[in-house]
Structures are given as structure tokens and as C-alpha cells.
Structure 1
């Protein structure tokens, strides 16, 4: 390349960027004080979630250089104990209209219901509560993390495929444990199965010293089963159940075979390249929360590039249309359900070191999309905010 040609390219690039249209994306993170648990846990990364948004921003920014957009990521952290609504109201008053949020279901609904958020588009990157996709759905709230029912359905498909139909459950004492247990019960019923037995976790002591003595007795009276389901969403006691049960059986749920939105062990379909880029940027493995935020920002970039829309209403319409597809490195393009705003995505079933299956599994068919075998389908949806009828 000669010097004059290189100079011409540089000048053209500078002119393009000088006239670039700026598109603002806001990442809002509610920090919480981790709850006390029985075991000593490694603290979650301080950039959990936001690291995925940053990576996606860098990727769509590269495309924006050639299409005339300059993407800017604004990050807002609401500390533990600090009021949430005043912080997000300030962001909205400052002009934010595309929001990627890591917060609880309660706070997401408070945000979505703010008058100033009526013309905003909010992406839920981490909250898995089914009610956000059901009776408590909001038209301005989309979801890029799988629901509990999607995760549970992935596990049910795997159990049914393996013909592991005799199932029992150990449920933890926390609200999120009960929510996941409820999703598992409903999913088993959906696929024609049922629990043969269920027990509530009964210990409040550190199990590191007594697991080998107490857990065999605790599980001794469970009915004969093929698979032991564990609902322990905080990662509290489940690690001590493995290899300590009265009879040797595989575990699944929150421990053992775990249905996740994303995991560091996903490698196929170009995922290894995404994992490598994330590792280079964040210095750690990509987690489900990171993928949820990545998918939200990537979806915004894809919608801007493909639709030509710049307003929130136009972007939302495109995201919920049949035209939208996002390459999500999970083997099937991702899209949004137009009846509740949930992103359709395959669910990897993973152990600590490998993917053992990816739902929807072969043989689970659907008239519209096999991905809609995971989670609440349109006929069963309680969401009335999107107006979809087919």
C-alpha cells in the first residue's frame, strides 16, 4: 500500500467517524451484599455481567465504524443499600433509552413502570423469574437471560431422552430454591413425568466436616430413583451431596448436570472464539450473566445495522419481528418471542468441565420453532402486554 493511498483511507475514515451517529447504551447494575451461606464460596467477579456488555460493545463498535454509528456504553452501579429508583431516574433524565439491566425482578418492574421509562427499551440480562415473562411482563422489558422454566424444560428433555423417569428432589431453604423447584415440578408435568419424592434441606451447619456422615442418612429414605434433582441456586449445600448419597445416582439441577444460559465449557459453533475474546478482555471465563448482557448489547447492534431504525419503537418492532436473528454461538440463531419478550436460545446442559447436551434435544418438535419447547409457549402464556396471538 503506497503512502498516498493509505492517507486517503485514513482521511475518509476520519471523515466518517466525525459524522458518526452516536448511539447510547446504558448498563445499570444493582450491586447486592452476598447472602450468608453454609460453605465458603469464591466471591463472584466484580465485573459479572458488565464484562459481557463491554465485549459486545467493542464488537458492535467495530461494525459501527463502517456503517456510520458510534456506540457508547454508559455504566451505572447502584451500591448495596442505596435507593434504586432515584439512580435509574437520573439515568433516564439524562437521556438513556436503551438500558441493559442487572437487577432483581422487583427492581426491574419498578424501573419498567416509571413514567420516564415508557419510551425506553429495557433488557433484563440476569433475572430468571418466570413471572417477568408471565403475568408481570411489561411491553418495554425484553429478556436475554433464560427463564427458570426454560432451564427446567431443558433438564426434563434430557431426563426423558435418557429414560431417567424416576426422579426425586432435594430443595434448599431459600426463595430462589423454591422458585427453581416449582419450575422443575411444572416442567416434569409438562413432559409427562412427576417426582417420586421430595425433601427439604434440613441442615444449617457447615457440611465440610459432616457431609459424609449426614447426607447418606438424609437421603436414605428417598424412593428408588434414576436421577436426583437438586435446587440450590446459591451454590450453598449442593456440592456436598455428590458422592455422599445413600445410593449412587447422578445429580442434576443446580448441581451435577446444570442447565445454563452459558458456560465456559461451551466450545462448538464458534463459541470457542467468543470465549477467547472474553478471556482476553476480562481475564476469566464467561458466565451466564455475562452472556445475557453480551446478547442484549449485540442484539441492539444487530437491530440498528439491519433495520435502519434509530428510534426505540422501531428497534423494538424489529427485535420482535421474524426478521431479527442473532448469531449467539449456540448452534441456532437467537430471536425474541413476540408474546413475552423472551429471547429464544438453546440451553447447554453442562458439568464443571464439559457440555453433556444442548436443549432442545432431537425429537422434541414444535410447529413454529423447536426453541419454543423450552419455557412457556404462546398458548400457555399469561403475558398480555405484547398483543401477540400467533
Structure 2
């Protein structure tokens, strides 16, 4: 029996004994397409149905369980062009769905959640903005995608464990780059590392021809350092830094050593099976956004299976409780933080060809859950919407 089949069989067996009522579980996926962003390389195009296909894979998983219990799952996808009316689309979706996945920028997500009918439960599968888990949190918005702070903390744990304590950072020119750089600074301070030098990326030349000339000049003035940390939110220039620095140093952040929610090189704990099933469905590799959408759908499926009902308030309470666990093919059960709705998950730290580590690392302990060493902890949280 495969690991997925074993997991589903265990879930079904646990629930079957309590009896099951027929249920229709209708879930919405609302995406606001981002405007195109010009980058220096087209080697990594964004899949057209990124995220959506992760939700579709989980839909099949939910249906596998549901057919034994009389639970029928459905998924409606609305993808709004970047110049379209996302709020009209949200109103249309909310008329038929009270369980909705949101894939869009934080400001649009907040506007939709704030205007939604009472009782609607949303899952963020597209925004890593730390503020959504902090001062801008909303009680009816849970987060299946990790924040920038979680990913930064995972990376800093690995750098600290390797003794790479001195960092030189290159910050990109966009507002998103600057937000990422600030997140890195906070994480560096949290774990006691040090940024010894900083540089701003301002080149708009064709780096396919000029990287070997421009990058050494940019990095020549760096003080002695162990790693070059790259704050490049769009994956624009980062690929041209490695092997072009003035001093031979590893790179991390947006290239080289990266902390991500999911990557094709994750293979342990049954992950290879999930990767294979996704590739069979979509014809491509699974991205972090696909994994987040898969996890959100499976969260709903697991909660419905355990509770035998679809009421959003009841599902939310259960998902945020200590009783909820989700098998996520990452070696530890996934759960949700009751104070801000963030899904707890291990964070793979990877390079292009292999998984280097899974954070949190051994030695980074926590009184409640080692996964809470990543990102905003309860004592640091400014989120008051959850009542904790």
C-alpha cells in the first residue's frame, strides 16, 4: 500500500466508526492575476495554472476519501485578469461558496476578506506578506503558504548551523525586494548573525553578457564575509550572482541556497510520490504555490472528514485546535497556529539539485512546537483578531 493510500485508509477507518452523513463540500479558488514583471531572464516562466493545479490534485485526494463517506467535493476556479474586477468576481464566488482559497496580493486579499459575508472562511495560498500574520491579520483568513519571515528564519537557522555568520547582502530595486531585505535583517538579528556589508542592485544591462564584469565590481568592496545573501523577490538578477562574486563565496536567498515551502528536489517522507502524482496531473514540477493550494484543500478535506460537517465556523475551530493534524509529506504533521492562522510546516532549504536541510533544525527548540521557531511567535505577534 502506498503512503497516500495508507494515510487515506487510516483517516477513513477512524471516521467510519463514528458514522458519516452525505455532504456536498463546494470550495472556491479565486485568483487575481499579477501584472507582468519584466525580468532579465525568461528561464523560469511562471506556469499559467500555478496554484490551481495544486488545488486540483488535492481535490482528487479529497474525493478519494469522500467517496467512502458520502462526501462530494467540488472546486470552482475564477482567475481574474490583472486589469479585471476582482471584487465583482469575489461577490459572485461568495454567493455560492463559504470556503474559498485566495491567490492574490495582500492588499486585495484584505479588501475581499473585509467585505465578505459573515461566516466565510478563506485560505491564503498566494501572499507571503508577514503583515497578514501580524498587525493586518483577519480572524476568517488562514494561511497555507509560509510568510517571508518563516522562510527567512529557516534559511538563517541553516546558515547559523554551518557557522556562516557573516553575511554580505545585495538588495534589489523594487519595493518587494526592499521588503524581503528588511525581513532578512530582522531574521539575521533574531538568530544572532551579522550583515557586514550591503549593496544595492541597480543594473539594467543584459547580464547574460555583462555579469562577469558587473558582479565582481559590485562585490569587490564587501568586508570579509561567509555568504552573499540576495534579496531578489522576483528572481530577476539573483541567478547571475553565483560564481561571479569578487571573492569565491556561496550565495543564498533568491539563488543558491534557498528556503522554500516546496521544491522538486524534496523526496523524503513520501514526497516523491506526491511529486510524481502532480507531474502526472500537470505535466510540470510542483511549485510552492501549488503545495500551498494542495495543503489548503487537504486541510478542508481533513477537517470535514473528522467533523462530518461543512460549517465554516466549526471547521475553523477544529483546524486551529490542538487536535488537528495534516500529513504533508514533510516528516512532521502540519497544523495551524491558533494566534494568527498560519499553517505550521517544515521548510525545505535546498539548492538546485538537492535538499540540504529541513528547518527547524535539531537544537532549535521551542516550548510549544519546534516549528514555531520559524516566523512570528505568539509573544511577538501583534495579531489580536484571533483572541489570543
| Structure 1 stretch displaced more, 327-336 or 35-44 | 35-44
Alpha-carbon distance in 2 for matches of 1:64, 1:154: 35
Alpha-carbon distance in 2 for matches of 1:155, 1:42: 22
Instruction: State the Cα distance separating 1:375 from its structure 2 match.
Output: 0.3
Q: Kindly provide the CA deviation profile for residues 110-155 of structure 1, in whole angstroms up to 9, marking residues without a partner as x.
A: 1110142x21010001200000000000000000001000000001
Contact 1:232–1:254 (CA<8 Å) still a contact in 2? yes
Alpha-carbon distance in 1 for matches of 2:290, 2:355: 18
Instruction: State the Cα distance separating 1:360 from its structure 2 match.
Output: 0.1
Q: For residues 10-21 of structure 1, what are the structure 2 equivalents within 5 Å?
A: 20-21=22-23
Paired position in structure 1 for 2:100? 99
Paired position in structure 2 for 1:324? 324
How many pairs are equivalent?
Answer: 368
Q: For residues 24-63 of structure 1, what are the structure 2 equivalents within 5 Å?
A: 24-63=26-65
Paired position in structure 1 for 2:366? 366
Paired position in structure 2 for 1:66? 68
Report the TM-score, using the length of structure 2 for normalisation.
0.93
Paired position in structure 1 for 2:7? none
Paired position in structure 1 for 2:289? 289
Alpha-carbon distance in 2 for matches of 1:365, 1:96: 40
Instruction: State the Cα distance separating 1:90 from its structure 2 match.
Output: 1.2
Report the TM-score, using the length of structure 1 for normalisation.
0.93
Paired position in structure 1 for 2:165? 165
Instruction: State the Cα distance separating 1:309 from its structure 2 match.
Output: 3.2
Alpha-carbon distance in 2 for matches of 1:346, 1:124: 18
Q: Helix, strand or coil for the counterpart of 2:209?
A: coil
Contact 1:169–1:198 (CA<8 Å) still a contact in 2? yes
Q: What RMSD in Å do the two structures reach over aligned CA positions?
A: 1.0
Q: Kindly provide the CA deviation profile for residues 217-262 of structure 1, in whole angstroms up to 9, marking residues without a partner as x.
A: 1100011100110011211111111100000000000110000000
CA radius of gyration, larger in: 1
Paired position in structure 2 for 1:7? none
Q: Helix, strand or coil for the counterpart of 2:91?
A: helix
Contact 1:325–1:333 (CA<8 Å) still a contact in 2? yes
Instruction: State the Cα distance separating 1:200 from its structure 2 match.
Output: 0.7
Q: For residues 238-277 of structure 1, what are the structure 2 equivalents within 5 Å?
A: 238-277=238-277
Q: Helix, strand or coil for the counterpart of 2:76?
A: strand
Alpha-carbon distance in 2 for matches of 1:286, 1:381: 31
Contact 1:39–1:206 (CA<8 Å) still a contact in 2? no
Contact 2:126–2:145 (CA<8 Å) still a contact in 1? yes
Alpha-carbon distance in 2 for matches of 1:384, 1:36: 38
Paired position in structure 2 for 1:86? 88
Paired position in structure 1 for 2:202? 202
| Structure 1 stretch displaced more, 244-253 or 41-50 | 41-50
Contact 1:170–1:229 (CA<8 Å) still a contact in 2? yes
Contact 2:23–2:309 (CA<8 Å) still a contact in 1? no
Q: Helix, strand or coil for the counterpart of 1:160?
A: helix
Contact 2:23–2:72 (CA<8 Å) still a contact in 1? yes
Alpha-carbon distance in 2 for matches of 1:289, 1:320: 22
Contact 2:94–2:116 (CA<8 Å) still a contact in 1? no
Instruction: State the Cα distance separating 1:44 from its structure 2 match.
Output: 1.0
Instruction: State the Cα distance separating 1:41 from its structure 2 match.
Output: 4.0
Q: Helix, strand or coil for the counterpart of 1:309?
A: coil
Paired position in structure 2 for 1:304? 304
Alpha-carbon distance in 1 for matches of 2:113, 2:266: 33
Alpha-carbon distance in 1 for matches of 2:43, 2:85: 27
Alpha-carbon distance in 1 for matches of 2:44, 2:358: 27
Unaligned runs of 5+ residues in structure 2 are 1-20
Paired position in structure 1 for 2:346? 346
Alpha-carbon distance in 2 for matches of 1:182, 1:89: 35
Distance 1:115 1:75, change over 3 A: closer
Unaligned runs of 5+ residues in structure 1 are 1-18
Alpha-carbon distance in 1 for matches of 2:188, 2:121: 34
Q: Helix, strand or coil for the counterpart of 1:208?
A: helix
Paired position in structure 1 for 2:4? none
Alpha-carbon distance in 1 for matches of 2:307, 2:180: 37
